[in-house]
Amino acid sequence: VIWMTQSPSLLSASTGDRVTITCRMSQVISNYLAWYQQKPGKAPELLIYSASTLQSGVPSRFSGSGSGTDFTLTINSLQSEDFGTYYCQQYYSFPWTFGQGTKVEIK
Amino acid sequence: QVQLVESGGGLVKPGGSLRLSCAASGFIFSDSYMSWVRQAPGKGLEWVSYISASGSTIYYADSVKGRVTISRDNAKNSLYLQMNGLRAEDTAVYYCAKCSEQTTVTFGRYSYYYYMDVWGKGTAVTVSS
């Protein structure tokens, strides 16, 4: 099983801020990592796959980086609609695993 | 547009069974790998099961292995999750997700990995006496 450590668990920031969420793997997964955003009562939505490829329709203020064991999701110029919980997920090997989630609050 | 609609959730007693369904539209279902993910109340996401396009390759999370069966009917554009021996800890919203392919070429050798790109709205399962 590949364990994932996602941090921070809670992030409070103001609109316009640059925020960063990190995900660390217990073993190398190349770039087989996705990031999802989930709003309360809604299904998750894919933001980024292949660690850094932006899903179609996702605003360009979202970006992903990393390879191997350490990955980062960055939101440049945080907007009010970016509140929610963000999850990383590895699809390198089964069982697929998710990070614990980062709740982003807008100050 | 791509749409996934789950159904079949509800209240069931411990030890009971449920069959979840996921109706797919807007894409070629028979070419698509699919997955189930669940989320317990107030908790994070947990992957449950995965099935290849033909149904020949299947994986389960250890937490459900032996109690859950994933299947699909490509003629009906439908994905299923048969759940038996339900426990209180199976209480969750269950999402079906369509998978897309990521192709990697290393030294001329192709590798295919799948990520979940479209999710349904989910169906709630409550296991309680």
Residue B121, phi then psi, degrees to nearest 5 = -80, -15
Low-confidence ranges of chain A (pLDDT < 70): none
Angstrom distance (rounded) from CA A87 to CA B104: 24
For residue A55, count other CB atoms closer than 10 A to its CB.
18
**Tens digits of residue pLDDT in A2-22:** 999 999 999 999 999 999 999
Is the CB of A101 less than 8 angstroms away from the CB of B45? Answer: yes
Q: Is residue A41 less than 8 Å (CB to CB) from chain B?
A: no
A47 to chain B: which residues are within 8 Å by CB? none
B114 to chain A: which residues are within 8 Å by CB? 91
Q: In what order do the strands lie in the sheet with B78-83?
A: B3-7, B18-25, B78-83, B68-73
Q: Is residue B115 less than 8 Å (CB to CB) from chain A?
A: yes
Average pLDDT over residues B60-79: 98
Q: Is residue A67 less than 8 Å (CB to CB) from chain B?
A: no
Angstrom distance (rounded) from CA B94 to CA B48: 9
pLDDT band, very low/low/confident/very high, at B20 (cuts 50, 70, 90): very high
Is the CB of A36 less than 8 angstroms away from the CB of B95? Answer: no
* Optimal mutation site among B2, B45, B62, B98, interface A, most CBs of chain A within 10 A: B45
Residue B106: the pLDDT is 87
Closest partner residue to B45 (CB to CB) among A46, A50, A87 is: A87
Is the CB of B47 less than 8 angstroms away from the CB of A34? Answer: no
**Tens digits of residue pLDDT in B89-109:** 999 999 999 999 999 898 999
Angstrom distance (rounded) from CA B37 to CA B20: 12
